[in-house]
Every structure is written in C-alpha cells, then in structure tokens.
Amino acid sequence: MEVTRAEKERVRDDLFEQVMTPTNVTDAWKRVKANGGAAGVDGMEIGDFPDFARRHWETIAAKLREGTYKPSPVRRVLIPKGRGRFRPLGIPTVLDRVIQQAIAQVLVELHDPTFSEHSYGFRPGRSAHQAIEAMRTMSLRKGYGGRRCHVVDCDLETFFDTVNHQKMMARLRESVADERLLNLIGKFLKAGAILPDGTYEESQSGVPQGGPLSPLLANILLDELDKELERRGHAFVRYADDFVILCHGPRAAARVLVSITRWLSRRLRLTVNETKSKVVPLAEAAFLGFCILRKKVRWTDRSRTKLKEKVRVITKRTRGVSPQQVMVDLQRHLRGAVNYYACGIPYRDIVELDGWLRRRMRLYYWKQWGRPRTRRRKLLALGIDRAEVHMASRSRKGHWRMSRNSLVHRAMTDAWLHTQGLPDLVKQWVAIRYPNGPKGSAKMA
C-alpha cells in the first residue's frame, strides 16, 4: 500500500516529463498533422512545421522546462452558427496545438477514468448514441416512463468562453500536483486572442474553442456538476454543456432547473442559457438531435428538416454539375448522415425520404436535358416509344410536375437511377438497423 501511494506521487510529480516524452510529442504532432487544420496567428501552416521543429524544438523544449515558454495568442475566427449568430473560434498556432495535444494525451488518462458514468461528450469510447440510449434506458425506469415525466433540458451560455480561470485552475490543482504543468496550462488560458481586425484581446476567462486541450478541461470543470447531480440522486445524462435531468413531474422539474441554475452560477461561475434551457414533457425533449417517443429513440423534426435542406442544396445547383457528380456528393453526405440518424428514423420516414430523393433526382435530369431535342434523344435511349416521346419532350408543364409524370418515371426507373449511382436509402437503413439479415442469425462484429 505504502509503495503504490509513493509510486502514484512520483508519477503525478513527473507529469510534465511524461508530456515531454519524444513519443508523446510525436504522437501529438501526428494528430495535429492529420487534422490538417489552418494556421494560427503566426501564419505557420502544417507543412511548415517539420522544418521549424527540427530547427527550434530544442530551445522550445528548454523554455517549456524552465517555465519561460509563452504561448501565442489564438486567432479569432467567427463562424456562422445559425439564426445570425456566430461562434468565436480561437485557433492556436500549430506549435501550440501540438503542445496542448501532448498535454491532453497525458491528462486524459489521469482524468477520464474518474469521470461520471453519465457524462458522454468529448470522451474517448463514448458517443452521442450511447448518451441518447442512456437517456432512453433511464426513461424506462419506474416513475420516469409515464405522462408525468418531465425533463430539465439545460445548456450553458457560450460555455467555453465563460470558463472561469481561477475555478479551472483550482479544479486542476486537485488532481495535478506538477507545478510546471499547471503553470503552462495557466499560460495557455491567458494567452489572449488576435481579432479579425488585428487587435489584441486579453482572455480574462474562457478556454479557446479550437484548443485541443479545451474539451478535456471543460469536462474536468463540469465533473463537479456531475458529482453534484449524483449527490442529489438525479437521473441525468450530460453531453458537453448540454444535459438532461429526468424528473417525476413538471413542478419538480421546474424546481430542479432553478436550483441547478443557481448552483452553476454560484459554484462554477457558469451561466445557464435561458433561451435554450427549459422544462418539457419527455416526448418533447430534443437531445443530440433525437427525442424519446413511446419508449423509442426518434430523430427530431428539426433533424429531418436539416437533412432534407442539405439534400436540396446538393441537388439545386443545376449549372455545370453532372448528375453523376451530384449523386456522388449525395452518396457520401447521406451515408454519414443516415448512419448517424438511422437509430431514430422510423421505416416510413426512410421510405418517404428515399422516394422524395429519387423524384428530386429525376427532376435534376429533366432540367439538365433542357431543350426538347435532347429530352427526345434521352427518352428514346431509355426505351420510351416515339409517340409518347413526342408529347412529353415538348411538354411545357412545370418541372416538379414532370418529375412525377409516369412516362418520366418509366424512363428513369428506380433501378436505373441506382445503377447511375443514386444511393439506396432504404437498403442502407436496413443494413444498419438489421445488420444480421432477416434471420438475425449471423454473429456480431
């Protein structure tokens, strides 16, 4: 016992050297390189880094060890977040990303095993699917399934930007004894930012949205929230700054929301987003793009609308893009999106979506063919007889109506569209939902 405790002390105090290990640093660099991200405030691209590192790593390592290394400010880039709002990214330099990544790799092994079972965001081996499934399982427990079940759906306001430095460092000090490492992390927090107009801005609070270490720091801070929710015996699931608490009724839920809001503000100096946070009946609680309806996971109307909108954009730009190219784009987009949502898509939705997609693609071809002469030629080539072709090719009906026309349908059959490269959504859905085939006989991977 005495030996293991002493050993642990040693490892804790040696964390900094663990970060600086050549294998750890090269792993960190590999990751930064693989991400292929943009340059930071110094303008150094990923491609420039190996040369720079060969020349300067020794002196940088020395400065890091002496505690005299000064991280560069992050580069502030505003990206649209919908509804006219913007997300302020903080992009560290390539060098600082490597260093932060190296720190994260060491700290994650120390901290992640101690995190709550009910926390899912930014954590290795844990996914959004597991989080929503955990929520579903909780809702099945006695007392949470019925009509009375209400959910506190909580989200923090500009979460990363509002992380309190003092609170963050105090929390880190509880688990990290190495002063050099704490010092370095503190410097990263205070590095500041260069705004798009070139002016410097101090960072009095916040972890950069874009720092490789930031998600882990966020979880280390909110671990205290998890512990508090556990202490109070709440049925909750957290994904980053987004968490749900299942309650036995609307009044209890309302009390919990008020209480947790106050606790977060007082204890962690974090603000609950008043507009995003609310108490709703279980069926109306949207979490990670899903909700729980009649004990099943379902994608939200919003998720479906967003997916359709994306398809619309891909199939819109009729100018200059071949149908084949459009379908390649559709293929790879829908493969990923359907793969994510499949667990929440009911069969009738996927059939409807598949039909809508084919119709949209027929419309694309029809528009592409344009002039009556080319329409005539294409229709004949697809095996439609001359008399019918004559009428259809000269049709002045609207395009969307033509896409439903039976002749157009016979020319471009479902099978033909699929041979041209149109993804088969129903097939894909079945492959995900029933991976073992109709008999359910084969073994799992």
Ligand X SMILES: Nc1ncnc2c1ncn2[C@H]1C[C@H](O)[C@@H](COP(=O)(O)OP(=O)(O)OP(=O)(O)O)O1
Partner RNA sequence: AUUGUUCGACGUUA
Residue 405 binds which of Mg ion, ligand X, RNA, none (CB < 5-8 A, kind-dependent): none
The DSSP code sequence of 391-435 is HHHT--S-HHHHTT-HHHHHHS-HHHHHHTT---HHHHHHHHH-T
- Nearest approach in angstroms of CB 119 to Mg ion is 15
Closest CA to 111 of 176, 158, 166: 176
Mark residue 160 as left, alpha or beta (left: phi above 0; alpha: psi -120 to 50; beta: remaining). alpha
**Tokens, residue 134:** 């955990």
Q: How far is the CB of 190 from DNA (least distance, A)?
A: 23
Q: Can you tell me which of 210, 323, 344, 423 binds RNA, judged by CB under 7 A?
A: 210
30 is written with which tokens?
Answer: 């590999």
- 161 makes contact with Mg ion (CB under 5 A): no
- List alpha helices for 67-155, DSSP H: 94-111, 128-140
Which of RNA, ligand X, DNA, none does residue 306 bind (CB under 5 to 8 Å by kind)? DNA
Interaction of residue 240 with DNA, rule CB under 7 A: yes
What is the spatial distance between Cα 240 and Cα 341, in angstroms, rounded to a whole number? 20
Binding mask 97-136 for Mg ion (x = CB under 5 A): ----------------------------------------
Instruction: Enumerate residues 78-107 that contact ligand X by CB under 6 A.
Output: none
Token pair recorded at residue 220? 């280390």
Alpha-carbon distance 349 to 304, whole Å? 9
Stretch that binds RNA, among 10-18, 120-128, 185-193, 360-368 (CB under 7 A): 120-128
CB 246 within 8 A of CB 138: yes
- Residue whose pair of structure tokens reads 């109709």 in the numeric block: 438
The owner of tokens 């874009």 is: 210
Any contact of residue 214 with RNA (CB under 7 A)? yes
Nearest Cα neighbor of 122 from 207, 191, 11, 186 is 207
**Which of DNA, Mg ion, RNA, none is residue 333 near (CB under 5 to 8 Å by kind)?**
DNA
Instruction: Please identify which residue in 126, 167, 255, 410 interacts with RNA, judged by CB under 7 A.
Output: 126
Q: Which of 239, 364, 365, 366 binds DNA (CB under 7 A)?
A: 239
Displacement of CA 188 from its chain's centroid (Å): 24
Q: Which of residues 24-53 bind RNA (CB under 7 A)?
A: 31-32, 35-38
Residue 444 is classified by DSSP as P
Binding region for RNA (CB under 7 A) out of 15-23, 135-143, 336-344, 363-371:
336-344
Q: Of residues 250-289, which lie at the interface with ligand X (CB under 6 A)?
A: 273, 276
Determine the Cα–Cα distance for residues 410 and 280; give it in Å rounded to an integer. Answer: 48
**Contact residues for RNA (CB under 7 A)?**
31-32, 35-38, 75, 77, 79-80, 89, 91-92, 97, 101, 104, 108, 121-129, 209-212, 214-216, 335-336, 339-340
**Contact residues for ligand X (CB under 6 A)?**
155-160, 209-210, 240-241, 273, 276
**Contact residues for DNA (CB under 7 A)?**
30, 33-34, 36, 121-122, 128, 155, 159, 215, 239-242, 288-289, 303, 306-307, 310, 332-333, 335-337, 339-341, 445
